[in-house]
Amino acid sequence: MPFHAPYICGCGKKVPHGVKCECAIKRKRDYDRYYDARRPTSSQRGYTDKWRAASKAFLAEPGHQTCVSCGKLAMMVDHRIPAKGDMGLFWDKSNWQPMCGRCNRSKNARQEGGFGHPVRTQGGQ
């Protein structure tokens, strides 16, 4: 039976393999609180009742029912180019595409650096 040795955390504690040290969990929690406190709310970013109605109407249009990535049922409207506060780009329907939740999360993680991936720049690096 394979055995993995414990590791030494940056704080100096010996931690069993596959377990996170309490200090790492606390750092993550503190980071999340710090980030969330500074991030605008969804309504401040434009995701209002008006957006919900417009995206629902977009998904009801012919040709917008399936995800552009996998072909499954589209559940949300994705911005091809992230609007990042640009309301003109946010409301530009040519920047919208139908996506399922899984493909949308995956795309955003690739482009915006989620799940430990590096953030991609416009040049693809």
pLDDT of 1 > 60? The answer is no
- Asked if residue 63 and residue 108 are part of one domain, the reply reads yes
- Asked if residue 81 and residue 28 are part of one domain, the reply reads no
First to last CA, the chain: 41
Domain that holds residue 25: 7-38
pLDDT of 35 > 50? The answer is yes
Number of domains in the chain: 2
Residue 2 domain-assigned (yes or no): no
pLDDT in tens, 68-109: 999 999 999 999 998 888 999 999 999 999 999 999 999 988
Rg (CA), the chain: 20
* Residue among 82, 88, 85 nearest 119 (CA): 82
- Asked if residue 73 and residue 17 are part of one domain, the reply reads no
Residue 121 domain-assigned (yes or no): no
- Asked if residue 29 and residue 53 are part of one domain, the reply reads no
